[in-house]
Every structure is written in structure tokens, then in C-alpha cells.
Copies of this chain bind each other. A is one copy, B any other.
């Protein structure tokens, strides 16, 4: 896919310039100096030829390289032959014509570098839409506008105005910010980090992150995809594609613009608890996307994943020539929830005989301050031999007898590629040559133990996701027709708030236990129903106009005989008649009181980007004050529902803390799965809460004690 973009044979540059420093010159120069082996077609109505001075890689690798002279075309039609890729850097007003010319010349992909479109306002947005339509109409893909361009190191292609061409490597970078892409290239040059490709996606008029994920999935040179994103164009599709790609190779995302929404998580209501950032988090978790919280983390993680094999578990061995940094690493390992491995006694014995007497053969393995390269190799060998060790962190501090270069070489020689090895050469000037050796040998190196451990943790989490069991979403036998009828009736009547009575009917249709109950329209009927369902009962006013029933005296609990029911009914009608004289009354809902148990909130809110998002939390203050809630995208599997529970602090309580019996965890997980099925069956449901869902001990029944469903305005039955 997108061959014309990744591996073009003929590249036109419309707006090519003779003046170094101008974007139109830099693109041509980058193509030449990046070593592009195909045809370059500079287009400039005023220039006969462009002279490209050797620079960058070409200047460095070929001392004495000569300037390259390229003949210019007056316009693209005059070129007369077919092109694959067109890179456009003309003023914004001339872009449309350039795109049309490109399409006519056979370009399969057009990269619009020029800015001044959507980002400038409505007029620019319109022009941008026109460009997209022009391309779509002819089956041509559009990258940008307002982007830095494209680099594919494995095709020697630098069709960008970036100042640097990275070396070849396994990391593909997708960046929504051109400036950040430039910073990444500069930073990668400093770290000698190779890249597979760099895709500056700009305004995303056509091609977006999801298209590139899909294209990179099959690219054999790409083993990690690192994305910087400010938004996601199509959430639903992104999740689907990212999940497929992540099954094959790691997808990392740094998503910025997270806070404003996150700060709104303030009430117990599912919808307002789930800010946009939470939706992104849920989406990434589902898709197996490795989320980086900071710019440094993005490349820390990407380097580890690109250079080293995935770990089989989370038992970490630490090899160090200094105690302090070893402690730092151990602290960090424990903090992240990984384990400082207990070395196998046999291995520890071997180490003991081979290392100096003062060395510590515990973990961290302290090879002592005077450790030479051979001693490091010995310890690394032992850690690789040890079946109790899954991953290895090697730390070096520059001491009197330390040889960073030799040590790096020894580590490289000794590394077997079976267990991930992450290295920390602490310091600056003295260790720098060693760092370069590590980079050459594909051993990821970090400036501090904490950052190495964070990268390891990201690897372990991703590896665990890769090992996950196949996702099987259970389908429960339900009475879908019945729910459908209730929803349809509401929508036809233009009622979007489904009240407790009908919401419970829907839940019952989806096999939730709901307290037995019926709607009464007279005191006599209320008594009859109470006798039918059995005492004690609860009575709640039923009216489409009353949202907060308790506030108007519309709730009575624990009514234990006929007299109390009759009294309650009459009093309720009297009071509501006074307090809410305008309210339409359906009557009073009489239901059997729920058994006691732990109060849970189960809910769903439909994210505009990622669709239905399930929510779980312990009732009351746990959600309101502690914000101890978990979210997950629907549809959900049984394992994922259980993981939601385990993702909260409340889990300890549910499981049974301090001698108390736990509750029926499967009942909660099952409830989440049923909600998942319901909201997947009915996209008309915009939001719902079961609050409280009362869960008993295992074996006892769990009931939906109150419920609320909101339908989407404008949705159809």
C-alpha cells in the first residue's frame, strides 16, 4: 500500500528553487543528498537548472563530492513522462493547479508541503476540502497539506525539507507536528538512532495516522511505529487497525492535549467522569497501543522495542559496577510492579566462583567499581543463562578502572538476542564513546536507571498484551425484541430519557436480575402489587417530568405491610401534587426491597470518537471522591471485564479484605458484559447507568436496584 509514497521511482518537486534555505531548494537537495536512486523532476517556470551542493550524509560519506546539476521543467506537462510522487511547495494559491498537474502526470500520491489551509481559518479549510476532493475524485492519495514531507531511509528517499536524513533503522515515526518531526530528526542524529521512515502528516486532509499504520504493518523494514498525535481522525477505525497492527509490531503513541478534558472528571455520572483523555486511554488499552506520557518516553520505549526481543516475563536482573545506581534500578523495578529476580542458586554459585570475593552475587549483581569488560560479560552471561531472569539491565558508571567502549563491545558480543538487555551508561563525556558503541550494536542505552526501567516496563506490558488469550466476546441469550420495542416506542414519542421502570424492563430483557415490581395507579393496586411481590417493598414515583425522585418526596423504602403501602401511596400523591403540580404522573412503582450487598455503579457512555465505553466503580464516595473508576471500550470479553475490576483500588474490597467475605466478582463482570451486549445491539443508547447494582456474596443474587438510560437525540428506531 502507498508504494508511490514509500518507494516511488519518479518524484516531481513542484516549486523547486535555486536558492538554498528556501523550502523548494531544500526538498530537491534532500532528495539528491539523501541518495535517491530514482528520477527527480524539479519544476520551476523560471529556472533552467538547479545546482545542489553536497551536504549532510553525502558530504560526510563522500568527501570531495561534486555539486549535482538537475535540469528543471517549466511545468509538469512539459516533462512528458509519468511520475509516481509529487511534492508540492508552491504558494498556497497555486497548490490546486499543481495538484491537478500532478494527477494528470500520473502521480499516485501528492504531498502538499505548503501551509495556509485549514489551520488559517474557514477559507483555508474550504481550499483544503477542494484539494482532498480533487484527489479523491481521481483515486489519488493526498498527504498534508502543511507538512514536512516524507522520509523512507530504506528507499534512500528524503522528500522533505527537514535538515537531516536519519540513518537506517527500524522505527517509523508518524508526526502530526512538522516542528516536532524536525526535533526528532535532530535528536536522533545526536543519539545515532536510525529510523525506517518519518511521515509528517500535517493537516490530514486525506491520509491520516490510520492509513499510515495500515501501510506500515506490512513494511518489512519497520519493526516499531512511534506516533505523535494531537487528535485522531477516526477513532473507531484507528482502534481496529491499531489492534491488528499491534498484534504484529509495537505501536507507540504520544497523545498530547490531555488535560483540559481530564480535569472535568468531577461527578459520579458516567458521562462526566469519562473525559476525552480517558476515552483515548481506553482505546489505546484495547488496541494494545503502548502509550508514552512524555516526549522522552516515546523514544525511550521505541528504542527498546526496536532493538531488543520481547520479554517472556517481568523478572529483572540488574548488573552494575556501583551500588547506588543498582539501588535506583531496584527501586524503580519494584515501583513499576516488576520483580527484582531471585537468581537461581546454581547460577549464583557460578558467579561467586568467577567474580572477586567482594562482588555481590545477589541481585543487583555488583561487579564492583574496578570491573573490566570481561567481568561485565561474565555477569551478563550468567543473567542470560539464568531461567529465573526474563530481562536484564546493565549499569555502568565511569570509575577509575572503567572502559566504556570495551565494555559496550563486550556486552554486544555477549548479547544473545533472547532476553531484552537495556543499558545505562551514566555520565557524560567519558561514557559517550561507549554509548556510540551501544547504539551501533542495537543495545538501547538510557541516561539513568529509572528511564531504562520505564522502557522495560513498557516492553513487559506490551509483551503481556501480545500473549493475551484470543478475545472471545460472549453473546448471552437475551430478549432483544423486547428491548427494541421499548426503545422504539420512546424514540417515536421523542422521549430520550428512559425512566427507571422502562430502563429496568430493558435490563430484565437482557437477563439482569431486577427486583420484582409493577406500576400502580391507585392505592389499592399498590397494595395488590406489594402482596404479589412480597413485603417489604419500595415505592417510587414514576413520571417523565421528575428526574430527582427523592427531592420531591417520591421515594419510600422498607414498607412492610398493606397499611404502610396504602399510606405511602396517598401521601406521595398528595405531596407531589403540591410540589410538582405540573408533572405528568404514570403512578408509583412498587417493587420488592433489594437484599443487602455492596453497591456498585455500572455504566456506559458513548464517546464521539471511540464509541461505547463501559464504566465500573464502587458506589457513592468511591466514585465521587476517590475517582476510583475503570473504563473499557465495548464490546468486552469476560477477561477484560475482570481486568476492569482489578484495575481499581476497590478490587481489594470486592475480593474480600481484612477477614470480610468478598462479593460475587463474576456477577459484576457478567453485568458489564451484558451492558456491553446491550449498547452494542442498540447504538441508539447514548448513555446508561445502573446505580446501584447491588452485589451479594458469591452464590447470592445481584440486582440492578436503579437504572437510567439516555437515548441519543436524532437516533432512529
Contact = CB atoms under 8 A, between A and B. Distances in A.
Interface of A: 21, 23, 26, 120, 161, 163-164, 175-180, 182-191, 228, 230, 256-260, 263, 267-268, 293-296, 321-325, 327-328, 330-332, 334-335, 358, 369, 397-401, 426-432, 447-451, 621-622, 624-628, 649-650, 652-653, 657-658
Given A295-B449, A399-B179, A428-B189, A328 B657 contact: no
Contact of A430 (B163, B625, B628): B163
Nearest to A21: B400
A398 B447 contact: no
A179 B400 contact: no
Given A294-B448, A428-B191, A259 B334 contact: yes
A626 B626 contact: yes
A294 B178 CA distance: 31
Contact of A325 (B179, B185, B323, B626): B179
A328 B401 CA distance: 42
B163 A398 contact: yes
A180 B427 CA distance: 9
A429 B186 contact: yes
Q: Which 9 A-B pairs have the closest CB atoms?
A: A190-B428, A179-B322, A186-B427, A177-B324, A259-B334, A183-B426, A187-B428, A179-B397, A183-B397
A650 to B, nearest CB: 7
Nearest to A446: B296
B624 A657 contact: yes
B295 A189 contact: no
Contacts of A327: 230, 256-257
Contacts of A120: 358
B180 A325 contact: yes
A257 B324 CA distance: 9
A273 to B, nearest CB: 13
Copies in the complex: 2
Nearest to A186: B427
Contacts of A397: 179-180, 182-183
Contacts of A322: 177-180, 183
A357 B293 CA distance: 33
Contacts of A23: 400
Given A26-B400, A426-B295, A428-B190, A256 B180 contact: no
A334 B256 contact: no
B626 A190 contact: no
B331 A256 contact: yes
A427 B324 contact: no
A321 B398 contact: no
Contact of A658 (B267, B335, B627): B267
Contacts of A293: 450
A230 B178 CA distance: 44
A296 B426 contact: no
Contacts of A369: 178-179
A335 to B, nearest CB: 6
B624 A626 contact: no
Contacts of A228: 324
Nearest to A228: B324
Contacts of A627: 649
Contact of A450 (B26, B294, B432, B628): B294
A494 B19 CA distance: 93
28 contacts: A21-B400, A26-B400, A175-B324, A176-B324, A177-B325, A178-B369, A179-B325, A183-B325, A183-B426, A186-B398, A186-B426, A186-B428, A186-B430, A189-B428, A189-B429, A189-B430, A230-B323, A230-B324, A259-B330, A259-B331, A259-B335, A293-B450, A295-B325, A295-B450, A296-B450, A624-B658, A625-B652, A626-B649
Contacts of A399: 178-179, 182
A626 B259 CA distance: 24
A398 B182 contact: yes
B179 A334 contact: no
A295 to B, nearest CB: 4
A608 B674 CA distance: 53
A692 to B, nearest CB: 15
